[in-house]
Structure 1
């Protein structure tokens, strides 16, 4: 299995003559591999580079300084090493914590939902570090631009599933977005069952990843082999999650993937999780053609997501 590289510029130009061809390539990729690498996406390379640089500078700060904005009862802020273990996963239970640290900036909940979800990992208010001083601005610019790209991809998924216009896009009103700035430190000796990110499938809809050139992201093929996701200069890795798989009756794949730490070099990546509104009821929108089950069917998306987050992260009471 190879991870396809897809030029999506025809999807971003109204009435482009190659639109249907681009959708066909995206459909083939996400109904088979569940992953693709997008080029021609229109995101300014300078915006990507600026956030990767700000993320690196943040993660190089002393631990004590980063702990000032440690996540507590909601999944917002700094996630230290050893505080996430995939105890609840579609692939079983991980034995060891992920060998990574990160900073998470969730989108704010609409005012009408804040009280109802205040005790959820999705609630709370977003902390930002004072240093680097530019991190908040570049992170919000990146989140805005890549969220707009993700929104522009949703009609393509509607078309590949032969759904009426706005069937999917209406479920993103408003979208709930996680921006995660990840650092995978070097691991000179890799222990058994030790991962930067243990094998898992993503919980939501679409994930877009910008990564440096260190490598380590792998996708599990149907025969069980692990395939390296290629590093394409300027490319964004796209993968589909459990909710999109459920909506499609299993046609679109939520494919297992993992990250291995490099022996000698730190790896930095930016993951943007573009998910539906948190009170969206998850249901099959396309009848399954073969037996299909999903752990998110019949639930509100926020409930489904909260169950996984509470099982997999070391939340603490607010001070």
Structure 2
């Protein structure tokens, strides 16, 4: 069981006003910024195929994974120890592989040097990896669009308010692998250290291992255990900023206390780099910015290769 609410997104497909979904999203976002969703549209077959391909890749030798090491476009494999959350004493005990909107080198934004833009990279083996992740990227984008329709309705604006901000989204999907963690690393070693997410909204699939914990405003750190058929959703710092603090970006962390490795697939479903973000849109006060300016600053704080580049 979990203290976090579970919201079925299906009514958003069935009614213009989304039924009770917007009110449920509003309550969850104002209370703690985390909830589970069902009715998200990801099939069990897609989940199984993507999970199998990801584990096949991560369990291969480092020398093989290094062939698709992270590029300057923020795509590819990130090695163990390459990510340290701001303020953390130790790097995260994880590897991850990231894909984004696949843009060729002659795309105008890529050619102009817009950060975080460019082509994806994929391993040659396993051969199932690329088709699985490309299918996941498309399906989770559809889920993200549906979810944001509910968020817009919860903020009492047009249900498609966010859609024009997503012409070329900064969507980033990460398969995150937590190897078995040696006990001698101690209690202060996290798979992902306590942090808040950078962007607007996150959709997370997690396997059956557990380990995700959320800082509840009243109850301290609480477990957000896996629940079959669900995704975990949380607001990021950009959502909190855009809504003038009304919707919470809540600290969370992950520990792999399981006897085996752990896998999750997180999608940071964020607007286009140049998308304007103005709290006045929702009747709030605060400094306006763009999605890219905000997100890039946070990424540069947390990833080793970005620090070297900047």
TM-score by length of 1: 0.89
1:311 & 1:97 partners in 2: Cα distance? 13
2:134 is aligned, of 115, 140, 143, to: 140
1:247 is aligned, of 242, 247, 257, to: 242
2:157 & 2:221 partners in 1: Cα distance? 33
2:68 is equivalent to residue 78 of structure 1:
no
Question: 1:40 offset after TM fit, Å?
Answer: 2.2
8 Å contact 2:178–2:191 — kept in the other structure? yes
Partner of 1:311: 301
1:123 & 1:24 partners in 2: Cα distance? 36
Question: 1:159 offset after TM fit, Å?
Answer: 1.3
Question: 1:98 offset after TM fit, Å?
Answer: 0.4
Closer, same or farther in 2 for the Cα pair 1:263/1:21, shift >3 Å? closer
2:180 is aligned, of 181, 186, 197, to: 186
8 Å contact 2:101–2:168 — kept in the other structure? no
Partner of 2:67: 68
1:257 & 1:183 partners in 2: Cα distance? 17
Question: 1:15 offset after TM fit, Å?
Answer: 4.5
Partner of 2:55: 56
Partner of 1:277: 272
SS for the counterpart of 2:189 is: coil
2:171 is aligned, of 174, 177, 181, to: 177
Question: 1:165 offset after TM fit, Å?
Answer: 4.7
2:265 & 2:56 partners in 1: Cα distance? 14
Closer, same or farther in 2 for the Cα pair 1:231/1:311, shift >3 Å? same
Q: Deviations over 1:206-240 (max 9, x none)?
A: 11111111000111011361111131111111111
SS for the counterpart of 2:147 is: helix
2:166 & 2:32 partners in 1: Cα distance? 24
Q: Deviations over 1:100-137 (max 9, x none)?
A: 0010001135823112335x3x0342210011101110
SS for the counterpart of 1:180 is: strand
SS for the counterpart of 1:273 is: strand
Q: Please tell me the root mean square deviation across aligned C-alpha atoms, in Å.
A: 2.0
1:154 & 1:112 partners in 2: Cα distance? 28
Q: Deviations over 1:155-174 (max 9, x none)?
A: 21111111245332221223
Compare the two structures and name the one with the higher helix fraction: 2
1:188 & 1:217 partners in 2: Cα distance? 18
1:270 & 1:12 partners in 2: Cα distance? 24
Closer, same or farther in 2 for the Cα pair 1:239/1:269, shift >3 Å? same
Question: 1:204 offset after TM fit, Å?
Answer: 0.8
TM-score by length of 2: 0.91
Partner of 1:103: 97
